[in-house]
């Protein structure tokens, strides 16, 4: 027999825990169903040396902030897991672990219309919050099936450290933070590394005495509403690392370390990968973005009268010649033994048996609210703003609060209707 409950939250990561706090603050009855352990993706789908991208003072969820001894330091992967565990204990989250939800259905006009089926129980709910996050199923190009069988292939979520890979050269595909950091680590470990990139956003780790995340918050840079499909030309994520005290990743400088840069990967034929000739164009675009960002920060500091130290003029760098694009790479001749696909993720909501998705599988929602009364999403990429999936009180936490208030208002209406008809 199914348990009846006001709200079922699916997912025990940062989004689900933030939703739990906000629901509890409003007196909302709920349960969190988590398929494995709290923060499972941080535990089992992140490489060993990964550090949180922003300073400890930015690591927060509603009602709780990171208590690290060094606020300006950067939390290691296991520290982030510990933070989420501490948060769950602090808010007394009603979480049930090792419960995999297998189906969500809508049963009609029942007071508890949602039927949530799991491998260890059944629930009927007035509301369902799908908080399984932005990183669900690894996205790997279809052309990967044509890679020679002797070459090891991994998605970045399965990469742990250089010792995991056979000896030889490595190709990393994907110029986002994951791809750049993995390429950096592999090169430091003595590997020959090729890095294939698309778009690029260069930014300083620190500027005029402040971390870049401080500037992003100060400028409200990621607060503008942006749907997942919007181009967001100015909102690209800069290449920053929290490793070794934090630094920015300059792709041109990576070549000084010996990393061989390539343009966007296009396909593979007969053991040869082809690449677009857009490498120099993408690098220049990232550097133009960097210059615009610097100007915005300087203008804001001047306009508001901030007493910030002046940025030292950079040492004059040697004039670099534009990259001559490499449009083809013979994997055998380059001695490539492994390809790491740092190519992101796609949504996997096939277990939600409701008409709440586009043909592409992307959720149909507006700040988490769907056209199906009582069904919500939380923690999606650019769900409402650029930082909707970010582990922070002003990111996923802000959307969680919005949804919790919507649920509370909906429940009040339902209770009023029930009392009126009684």
Q: Is 398's pLDDT higher than 60?
A: yes
CA 358 – CA 229 distance, rounded (Å): 12
Q: Is 255's pLDDT higher than 60?
A: yes
Least confident of 29-33, 146-150, 373-377, 381-385: 381-385
Whole-number average pLDDT of the chain: 92
Helix (H, G, I), strand (E, B) or coil at 85: helix
The percent of residues above 70 in pLDDT, for the chain, comes to 94
- In which band, very low, low, confident or very high, does the pLDDT at 250 lie, cut at 50, 70 and 90? very high
Which pTM was predicted? 0.92
Average pLDDT on 230-245 reads 69
Q: Is 327's pLDDT higher than 50?
A: yes
- In which band, very low, low, confident or very high, does the pLDDT at 230 lie, cut at 50, 70 and 90? very low
- In which band, very low, low, confident or very high, does the pLDDT at 173 lie, cut at 50, 70 and 90? very high
- In which band, very low, low, confident or very high, does the pLDDT at 311 lie, cut at 50, 70 and 90? confident
- In which band, very low, low, confident or very high, does the pLDDT at 98 lie, cut at 50, 70 and 90? very high
> Residue 360 gets which letter from DSSP?
T
Q: Is 324's pLDDT higher than 50?
A: yes
β-sheet bridge partners, residue 76: 51
pLDDT value for 318: 56
Q: Residue ranges per domain, the chain?
A: 3-136+347-421, 154-313+321-341
Average pLDDT on 41-68 reads 95
Q: What is the CA radius of gyration of the chain?
A: 23
CA angle 204, 210, 214 (to 5 degrees): 90
How is 196-259 classified by DSSP, letter by letter? Answer: E--S-----SEETTEEHHHHHHHTTTT-SB--TTS--GGGPPP-EE-GGG-EE--HHHHHHTTP
Query: Closest by alpha carbon to 347, among 81, 163, 136, 119?
Result: 136
Distances (CA, A) of 101 to 10, 126, 230, 373, 393: 7, 17, 31, 20, 27
- At a CB cut-off of 8 Å and minimum separation 6, what does 152 contact? 165, 166, 337, 338, 339
Least confident of 62-76, 173-187, 311-325, 369-383: 311-325
Average pLDDT on 225-241 reads 61
pLDDT value for 185: 97
CA 354 – CA 170 distance, rounded (Å): 42
Q: Is 42's pLDDT higher than 90?
A: yes
pLDDT value for 232: 36
pLDDT value for 141: 93
CA 59 – CA 89 distance, rounded (Å): 17
The pLDDT tens digits for 285-298 are: 999 999 999 999 99
Query: Closest by alpha carbon to 138, among 352, 383, 341?
Result: 341
Q: Is 322's pLDDT higher than 90?
A: no
pLDDT value for 235: 46
Residues in the chain: 422
- At a CB cut-off of 8 Å and minimum separation 6, what does 259 contact? 183, 184, 187, 193, 194, 195
Least confident of 2-16, 282-296, 304-318: 304-318
- Burial (CB < 10 A; 0-12, 13-18, 19+), residue 61, is buried
- In which band, very low, low, confident or very high, does the pLDDT at 374 lie, cut at 50, 70 and 90? very high
Query: Closest by alpha carbon to 195, among 205, 208, 182, 207?
Result: 182
Bigger pLDDT: 162 vs 120: 162
pLDDT value for 272: 95
Distances (CA, A) of 225 to 195, 388, 393: 32, 10, 17
pLDDT value for 234: 39
Class of the domain covering 3-136+347-421: alpha beta
């Amino acid at each position: 027999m199914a348990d009846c409950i006001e709200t079922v939250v699916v997912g025990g990561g940062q989004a689900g825990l933030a939703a739990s706090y906000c629901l509890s603050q409003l007196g909302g009855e709920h349960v969190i169903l988590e398929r494995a352990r709290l923060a499972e993706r941080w535990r089992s789908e992140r490489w060993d040396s990964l550090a949180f991208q922003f300073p400890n003072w930015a690591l927060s969820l509603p009602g709780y902030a990171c208590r690290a001894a060094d606020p300006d330091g950067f939390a290691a992967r296991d520290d982030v897991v510990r933070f989420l565990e501490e948060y769950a204990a602090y808010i007394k989250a009603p979480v049930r672990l090792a419960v995999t939800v297998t189906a969500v259905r809508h049963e009609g006009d029942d007071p508890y219309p949602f039927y949530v089926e799991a491998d260890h129980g059944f629930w009927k709910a007035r509301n369902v919050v799908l908080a399984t996050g932005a990183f669900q199923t690894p996205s790997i190009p279809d052309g990967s099936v044509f890679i020679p069988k002797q070459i090891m292939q991994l998605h970045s979520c399965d990469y742990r450290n250089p010792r995991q890979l056979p000896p030889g050269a490595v190709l990393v595909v994907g110029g986002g933070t994951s791809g750049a950091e993995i390429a950096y680590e592999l090169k430091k470990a003595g590997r020959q590394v090729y890095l294939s990139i698309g778009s690029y956003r260069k930014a300083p780790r620190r500027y005029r005495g402040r971390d870049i995340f401080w500037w992003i918050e100060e400028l409200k840079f990621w607060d503008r509403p942006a749907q997942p499909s919007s181009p967001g030309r100015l909102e690209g994520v800069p290449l920053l690392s929290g490793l070794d005290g934090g630094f920015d990743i300059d792709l041109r400088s990576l070549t000084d370390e010996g990393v061989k840069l390539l343009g966007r990967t296009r396909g593979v034929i007969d053991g040869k990968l082809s690449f677009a000739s857009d490498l120099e164009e993408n690098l220049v675009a990232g550097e133009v973005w960097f210059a615009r960002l610097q100007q915005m920060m300087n203008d804001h500091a001047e306009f508001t009268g901030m007493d910030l130290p002046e940025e030292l003029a950079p040492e004059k760098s040697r004039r670099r010649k534009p990259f001559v694009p490499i449009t083809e790479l013979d994997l055998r001749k380059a001695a490539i033994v492994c390809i790491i696909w740092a190519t992101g993720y796609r949504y996997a909501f096939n277990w939600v048996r409701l008409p709440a998705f586009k043909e592409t599988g992307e959720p149909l929602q507006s700040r988490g609210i769907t056209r199906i009364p009582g069904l919500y999403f939380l923690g999606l990429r650019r769900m409402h703003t650029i930082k909707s999936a970010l582990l922070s009180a002003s990111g996923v936490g802000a959307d969680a609060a919005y949804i919790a208030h919507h649920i509370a208002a909906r429940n009040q209406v339902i209770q009023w209707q029930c009392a009126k008809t009684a």
